[in-house]
Structure 1
Amino acid sequence: MITVATNAELAGRFEEFADLLEADDVEYKPRAYRRAAENIRAHPVPIGDRVADGDEEILDEIDGVGDAISAKIVEYVETGEIEELEELKAELPIDIADITRIEGVGPKTAGKLYRELGIETLDDLEDAAEAGEIQEVKGFGPKTEENIRDNIEFAREVGQRQLLGEARPLADDVLAFLESLDAVERCEVAGSIRRWRETIGDVDVLVATNENETVVEEFVGWNSVDSEIESGPAKASVRIGESRVDLRVVVPSEFGSALQYFTGSKDHNVRLRNYAIDRGLKVNEYGVFDVSDLDEGDEGQRVGERIAGETEDGMYNALGLPWIPPELRTDRGEITAAENDVLPDLLTHEDIRGDLHSHTEWSDGNTSIEAMVAAAEDRGYDYFGIADHAEGPGIVGGMGLSDAEILEQVEEIRAVDDESEITVFAGIEANVDAEGEIGLSEEVIDALDVIVASTHSALDQDAERATNRLITAVENPAIDVLGHPSGRMLNERSGLDFNASALGAAAAEHGTALEVNANPRRLDLWGSAAQAAIDEGAVIAVNTDSHRPSTLEYMRWGVHTARRGWAEPEAVINTWELAELQAFLH
């Protein structure tokens, strides 16, 4: 049996392997597996597909993937499982991914709770916390037990959703397959994935065709489909890897109305429906209907004169509105803005001139300064910032640079800049401590072009303290960009809760940019927080936080997240001309 395994799926297996090994108190090996998983996830080509086609040489290209891990990848592609992993799961029957989503509960903690209390699942964990059993375990206490109780609901919720950065590439593959079918006239993704929400449930796809049964049959029979969940004359659901993909088929004349309806969000659609009712119109998945002359008792989805539905533009135009970009359809004022013709002229990928936050082998990246800069040049950027980690709270494994090492790196960056066709900024990612301070000397501050300051520790502070901490940071004149402000990791930890409006007002007053971190595991700031900050006059920086050249592609996720925050190009500092940006930086 050949398994169609995405890079994300393969990476997930080795992350699970690493967690279970760590839970079993194995040293060194978990780190190797995590490094391999990170490089597999970020690899620019589908590894599983290539291995399935007999090209095992591709595994030699992946940093951190040696013979042992290569053999496990081949085994997984050929059999759908890794025997050694299955044996480990039998020895440690822990739902490790679910349990470690609890803030402060890592693999070692999960392993200890299993050995001491037999905890295998979130339900087991919740029962033990409610019974007061966890605080009785050596090394734990009432505060840890309370934290676990408070975070159970979060862990359950995120466990049902997939990262946008993992789901969207699959959706692109699905669209490419459907577009290749002769019977398909039009197709598009719908739902939260089209709104570019940071996490999604299922991959929703809509097709316009007059041959619905043919399309459903070809879709279900696609060789990338692992299993069929259900199918009917006009819809089908399948499993591809770890994702559920739902296909809905409509006639071409109703494609626009169905696309608008199934894109959502629910709150946006309710607001739009009420807007239409006030004007004697009805909006649903079949079109826009003039119902002003109908009797009160006339009912039905297609009752009234149909005046729009073939295109999505036409749906909004029939209501006297311009088309509203999917990222804005969250019921945060977009319909009123459309009515008043003041929708934002949203940021596009083409507006981006550079990236101010990237890492190299000097800290926890996996390549040289020269290689990162060359990749930025290949993307057509005007400027690029190296911002490796400084030592400080939350930076583990000795990956942070001392002041002396930072100054040494600055010299190397200057040498690369001299040879480069683009401007290379010498930067650092400093660590914002629990009080909002950073630990850089004045000598280092003066030597650098850009300072990104980020939270990596003390992420359990309450909202008031977290807000004050972040405001203290943006008030520091040395800090140019507040990096990933909440410190969250999607589907892993919730990060800081803070008042985005208050932070935005302080950032605007003190000339500090707030980061939209484009790493698909962060997307921090997120849409509503970015919008609140921009409304207060703050500017943002969309950065990839790249640790290797291939992850400069993350800019895609950051741009769409900024669009969810109503960001126009002028509010994004890395769309500015070089001279304007240099004037802004410290």
Structure 2
Amino acid sequence: MTTNAELAARFEEFADLLEADDVEYKPRAYRRAAENILAHPVPIAEAVESGDEDAIDDIEGVGDAISSKIVEYVETGKIEELEELRAELPVDIADLTRVEGVGPKTVGVLYRELGIETLDDLEAAAEAGEIQEVKGFGAKTEQNILENIDFARTVGQRHLVGEARPLADDVLAYLEGIAGVERCEVAGSIRRWRETIGDVDVLAATDEPDAVVDDFLAWDSIDDEIESGPAKASVRVGEMRVDLRLVVPGEFGSALQYFTGSKGHNVRLRNYAIDRGMKLNEYGAFDVSELEADPDADPQHVGGGQRVGERVAGETEESMYDALGLPWIPPEIREDRGEIDAAEAGALPDLVTEADVRGDLHTHTEWSDGNNSIEEMVAAAENRGYEYYGVADHAQGPGVVGGMGLSEAEILDQVDEIRAIDDEYDVHVFAGIEANVDAEGAIGLSDEVVDALDLIVASPHSALDQDAETAGERLIRAIENPAIDVLGHPSGRLLNEREGLAIDAGALGEAAAANDTALEVNANPRRLDLWGSAVQAAIDEEAKIAIDTDAHRPATLEFVRWGVHTARRGWAEPNDVVNTWELPDLESFLH
């Protein structure tokens, strides 16, 4: 069955091709539709197949024209108008636009001038010095393109967790309905909530593997069967690969621990076990202290084979850690960054949860590039049970998409509207702004505007190719600005699209702690910025973070899920996250 992620990708491609062809206005409409399709809570294909046209029409940004294209794609697997665009502009738009500095318009120009269609074409043209000869380009641009091609090739092989996890949830829901499945769970990097995913790995416990494989392969969401056997099956759903592995119920816990990883965590844990006369593998935890070892053999295979010694654990994942005298370690922090030592010392973090989050400090409305009114966004926040909510539309400045930032006069007008709306709702509304951190670290707001606002999120949107030293000095100057409360998406990266600034998260954390400035975990699944290791480095310096969705419509307030798990990957506890605090404490923190 067609997934929402697959549909969204088609409309993103539509927008890119139209923009590459110098079409105005339409690309933005298609991008908004793509974002809303991706954020839609249920599979849109189900509505198409059931003939529920109203369900499609209810999706924000989807009018009759786009609705008909959704139906066409679900029913036929293609959109005729998109096929025509592809024929007119036969470029690999997704791969090419992953190169830093290459947007759709650039792709269009390079195709028309040099016939560039693929990454290989782009690389060859750059190496031959042809790009710098095109009007509007130069040697520096050409060199930047050349340096970023390898990155574009690498990221093109992975999916965003925001695309992969909803599919994984669908797989689990389907498996739970199969009679022979006793337990099931995702494994691998998706269970550790890495920001990008290769394949969706799923583990199921059953005594009827043949029947379960048959029932799984009957799932109507599957587009292609890749391979199958008595204990596993691999399929393609949309553009993603799903690998199902079946184990006997008594070995589910050990298999889950083993296949969750990471490799570094597992190696460290196995060595910890060896030192205690134990052996760990996917089949269980075994006491091998009484067995004689071959001095030339791998100590993990004492006595030969995998199931040797006295099996003391394996039915549950918790038992695998308990057999070593350790508490269960949350999957998000199994990255060999000190978690086993912390577990041994009884010092594992009490990780933040979604239920701890009391509000969102970085969201947008139709005043800048959002889809909805302030009142609609505030009502959505109140419906989520939030205690407070920050409206932070874009201020004018470099890098703001489409020049849609607010002037100072508009900011002041918006503050007045927010104050009026705040009186009508139980949720407390902060009048904020997302200011732009320019190349030198300034934000360009007058004292009058700063004084009128409750909250300033400052984010880099331009000059994202600075070297690490320049970028670090720039961001620290922003952190030290007494007007700034939150440094938004500090690196400016877009996953699978651009690397963003090279940052020293420890140095930013030290500056942030000294200046009572929070560092943002931007929960948009295209950003997840800061990321796990960076969060951990910042928290080690006693910095505080803010988990914000950067929501542009009510549905994307749900992005908090991705932000919370990213913060958990950085060992964040509730007190480390300013928007888990009670309102008076947060107000005291804000400048």
The interval holding the TM-score normalised by the smaller chain is over 0.9
1:439-518 superposed matches below 5 A: 439-518=444-523
State which of 4, 29, 34 in structure 2 corresponds to 1:32: 29
**Contact preservation (8 Å) 2:96, 2:118:** yes
The one-letter code sitting in structure 2 at the alignment partner of 1:239 is R
Tell me what 1:97 maps to.
94
| Gaps in structure 2 of 5+ consecutive residues | 295-302
**Contact preservation (8 Å) 2:184, 2:204:** yes
Aligned-pair CA distance for 1:296: 2.2
Aligned-pair CA distance for 1:252: 0.5
Aligned-pair CA distance for 1:57: 2.1
Distance in 1 (CA, whole Å) between partners of 2:170 and 2:471 is: 41
**Contact preservation (8 Å) 2:2, 2:221:** no
Distance in 2 (CA, whole Å) between partners of 1:437 and 1:156 is: 34
Give a deviation string over 1:560-581, Cα, whole Å, max 9, x none: 0000010010110011111111
The one-letter code sitting in structure 2 at the alignment partner of 1:395 is V
- What SS does the corresponding residue of 2:431 show, helix, strand or coil? strand
| Gaps in structure 1 of 5+ consecutive residues | none
State which of 355, 361, 366 in structure 1 corresponds to 2:366: 361
Aligned-pair CA distance for 1:27: 2.7
Distance in 2 (CA, whole Å) between partners of 1:312 and 1:404 is: 58
The one-letter code sitting in structure 2 at the alignment partner of 1:286 is Y
Aligned-pair CA distance for 1:132: 2.3
Tell me what 1:571 maps to.
576
Distance in 2 (CA, whole Å) between partners of 1:63 and 1:356 is: 23
Q: Which moved more, 1:18-27 or 1:368-377?
A: 18-27
Distance in 1 (CA, whole Å) between partners of 2:576 and 2:4 is: 34
Aligned-pair CA distance for 1:81: 0.4
- What SS does the corresponding residue of 2:362 show, helix, strand or coil? coil
Distance in 2 (CA, whole Å) between partners of 1:390 and 1:27 is: 23
Aligned-pair CA distance for 1:38: 2.0
Aligned-pair CA distance for 1:220: 0.8
Tell me what 1:81 maps to.
78
The one-letter code sitting in structure 2 at the alignment partner of 1:568 is E
Aligned-pair CA distance for 1:227: 1.2
Tell me what 1:181 maps to.
178
Distance in 2 (CA, whole Å) between partners of 1:168 and 1:470 is: 32
- What SS does the corresponding residue of 2:201 show, helix, strand or coil? strand
Distance in 1 (CA, whole Å) between partners of 2:230 and 2:123 is: 43
State which of 54, 59, 65 in structure 2 corresponds to 1:57: 54
Tell me what 1:397 maps to.
402
State which of 374, 380, 396 in structure 1 corresponds to 2:379: 374
Tell me what 1:240 maps to.
237
1:435 correspondence with 2:443: no
Aligned-pair CA distance for 1:133: 2.3
The one-letter code sitting in structure 2 at the alignment partner of 1:43 is H
Aligned-pair CA distance for 1:585: 0.5
1:170 correspondence with 2:170: no
Aligned-pair CA distance for 1:25: 2.5
State which of 293, 300, 305 in structure 1 corresponds to 2:310: 305
The one-letter code sitting in structure 1 at the alignment partner of 2:386 is Y
TM-score norm. by structure 1 comes to: 0.98
Distance in 1 (CA, whole Å) between partners of 2:6 and 2:51 is: 19
Tell me what 2:337 maps to.
332
Distance in 1 (CA, whole Å) between partners of 2:133 and 2:229 is: 54
Aligned-pair CA distance for 1:514: 0.4
- What SS does the corresponding residue of 1:239 show, helix, strand or coil? strand
Tell me what 2:299 maps to.
none
State which of 151, 157, 166 in structure 2 corresponds to 1:160: 157
> What RMSD in Å do the two structures reach over aligned CA positions?
1.1
1:19 correspondence with 2:24: no
Q: Which moved more, 1:123-132 or 1:255-264?
A: 123-132
Q: Which moved more, 1:183-192 or 1:57-66?
A: 57-66
The one-letter code sitting in structure 1 at the alignment partner of 2:474 is R
Tell me what 2:297 maps to.
none
The one-letter code sitting in structure 2 at the alignment partner of 1:375 is A
Distance in 2 (CA, whole Å) between partners of 1:366 and 1:22 is: 20
1:381-420 superposed matches below 5 A: 381-420=386-425
- What SS does the corresponding residue of 2:525 show, helix, strand or coil? coil
1:210-225 superposed matches below 5 A: 210-225=207-222
Q: Which moved more, 1:186-195 or 1:376-385?
A: 376-385
Tell me what 1:581 maps to.
586
State which of 533, 553, 558 in structure 2 corresponds to 1:553: 558
Distance in 2 (CA, whole Å) between partners of 1:83 and 1:553 is: 33
The one-letter code sitting in structure 1 at the alignment partner of 2:536 is Q
Give a deviation string over 1:130-177, Cα, whole Å, max 9, x none: 222222222222211211111111111110111111111111111011
1:145 correspondence with 2:142: yes
The one-letter code sitting in structure 2 at the alignment partner of 1:149 is L
Distance in 1 (CA, whole Å) between partners of 2:35 and 2:353 is: 28
Tell me what 1:125 maps to.
122
Distance in 2 (CA, whole Å) between partners of 1:42 and 1:433 is: 31
Distance in 2 (CA, whole Å) between partners of 1:136 and 1:547 is: 39
Aligned-pair CA distance for 1:61: 1.6
Distance in 2 (CA, whole Å) between partners of 1:391 and 1:545 is: 17
**Contact preservation (8 Å) 2:2, 2:238:** yes
1:520-539 superposed matches below 5 A: 520-539=525-544
- What SS does the corresponding residue of 1:392 show, helix, strand or coil? coil
- What SS does the corresponding residue of 1:497 show, helix, strand or coil? coil
Tell me what 2:205 maps to.
208
State which of 307, 316, 324 in structure 1 corresponds to 2:321: 316
**Count of equivalent residues:** 583
- What SS does the corresponding residue of 2:370 show, helix, strand or coil? coil
Give a deviation string over 1:91-122, Cα, whole Å, max 9, x none: 22211101100111011111222222222111
Q: Which moved more, 1:283-292 or 1:244-253?
A: 283-292
Give a deviation string over 1:324-362, Cα, whole Å, max 9, x none: 000000011101111111010110111111111111111
**Contact preservation (8 Å) 2:377, 2:553:** yes
Tell me what 1:10 maps to.
7
Aligned-pair CA distance for 1:46: 2.1
Tell me what 1:292 maps to.
289
Aligned-pair CA distance for 1:507: 0.4
Aligned-pair CA distance for 1:293: 2.0
The one-letter code sitting in structure 2 at the alignment partner of 1:290 is D
Give a deviation string over 1:219-246, Cα, whole Å, max 9, x none: 0111111111100000000111111110
Distance in 1 (CA, whole Å) between partners of 2:291 and 2:532 is: 41
**Contact preservation (8 Å) 2:268, 2:336:** yes
State which of 97, 104, 107 in structure 2 corresponds to 1:107: 104
1:426 correspondence with 2:431: yes
Distance in 2 (CA, whole Å) between partners of 1:220 and 1:328 is: 33
Q: Which moved more, 1:220-229 or 1:298-307?
A: 298-307
The one-letter code sitting in structure 2 at the alignment partner of 1:449 is D
**Contact preservation (8 Å) 2:395, 2:405:** yes
The one-letter code sitting in structure 2 at the alignment partner of 1:379 is R
The one-letter code sitting in structure 2 at the alignment partner of 1:408 is D
Tell me what 1:344 maps to.
349
Aligned-pair CA distance for 1:28: 2.7
Distance in 2 (CA, whole Å) between partners of 1:105 and 1:398 is: 19
1:216-295 superposed matches below 5 A: 216-295=213-292
The one-letter code sitting in structure 2 at the alignment partner of 1:100 is T
- What SS does the corresponding residue of 1:397 show, helix, strand or coil? helix
The one-letter code sitting in structure 2 at the alignment partner of 1:214 is A
Distance in 1 (CA, whole Å) between partners of 2:393 and 2:209 is: 53
